[in-house]
Amino acid sequence: MENLGFPLKHPEKLCYPRDAITRQDVLAYYLSVAGPLLRFTRDRPLTQIRYPDGIEHKGFFQKNPPSGAPGWLATWPMGDTRYIMLQDERTIAYAVGLGGLEFHISPLRSPDAEHPDLAWVDLDPMPPFGFDEAVALARLTLSALDAIGLKALLKTSGKRGLHLFLPIRPGPTPHELFLALKGLGVELRRVRPDLVSLERLKARRHGVYFDFGQSAAGHTLAAPYSLRAVPGAPVSCPIMAQELGHIRPGDFSLRTMPLRLKAVGDIWADRVAPQDPRELMRLAALADHGR
């Protein structure tokens, strides 16, 4: 920690008590994946979820810098909020020292505060459905996107589902992307009404919830390589489409992710350049059928 300029606060504190994972372990993990993590978090508004007393105690969301924050901390003013930006290893260490476990990012990237360079969808299976059904919907979604010439990046959510990221050239507003992704969901539901749910009310969902709303203004999603605050210290892990059907959510954790990164590298690096969003935007015409 000396090379980061300050000591870690309470390194011995248990963040994941059942797994005997300390704050020092959390920092060591994040520093081990800092390269690919920062490639996605840098220059984006950050929402961190802090658990100062570990995951068995109540956590809370943090957007603004806390009182006494160091002057070097990079921030992004947006409305009434001054978001922290996760720019470097020093900021990682500072956030972990506050009890930060989960790092969630915005689809917006500085200097453009109005036009996202990412569109994304959360595939969230509803019990009794599970990860296998999320995999089935991921395959269907990838096929639909491929048909209009778009490639998506795929990662585990770190819990029971999957996330799809679409790198795009900035242009559409968050609301326009919201409508386009809703239109995509409508088309997928037409093909597999038994699998795809677009219901906003949780009690009315079935199968796998195609959560297109995550691209709406103000929403965030777990960053690639972010820990999740549940037992086992799982990680939201980038995967290849070929791995669908061969992996389980529990395969990727604080303890296994650094080994995977050494074995396969940063599989998203230079994989998909920003794509023209026009074909995606044409799907917005289908959004009204999602009511």
By 3-state DSSP, what share of the chain in percent is helix, strand and coil, each rounded to 5? 35, 20, 45
Residues 116 and 118: their CA atoms lie apart, in Å, by 5
Closest CA to 17 of 61, 51, 48: 51
Task: Tell me whether the CATH fold assigned to 11-105+225-229+253-264 matches the one assigned to 118-218+271-290.
Answer: no
The verdict on whether omega for the bond into residue 128 sits within 30 degrees of 0, i.e. cis, is: yes
Q: State percent of the chain over pLDDT 90.
A: 87
Which residue type does 147 have? Answer: A
pLDDT in tens, 233-280: 999 999 999 999 999 989 999 999 999 999 999 999 978 789 999 999
* Fold adopted by 11-105+225-229+253-264: DNA primase, PRIM domain (3.90.920)
pTM of the model as a whole: 0.95
Work out the angle at residue 252's Cα, subtended by the Cα atoms of residues 99 and 61, and round it to the nearest 5 degrees.
30
pLDDT in tens, 42-51: 999 999 999 9
- The highest-level CATH class for domain 118-218+271-290 is alpha beta
Give Cβ neighbours of residue 269 (< 8 Å, ≥ 6 apart): 36, 39
- The domain limits of the chain are 11-105+225-229+253-264, 118-218+271-290
- The runs of H, that is alpha helices, within the chain are 23-32, 34-41, 89-97, 131-147, 174-191, 257-264, 278-281
Residues 82 and 196: their CA atoms lie apart, in Å, by 37
Residue 57 DSSP one-character state: S
Read off the pLDDT band of 290 (50, 70, 90): low
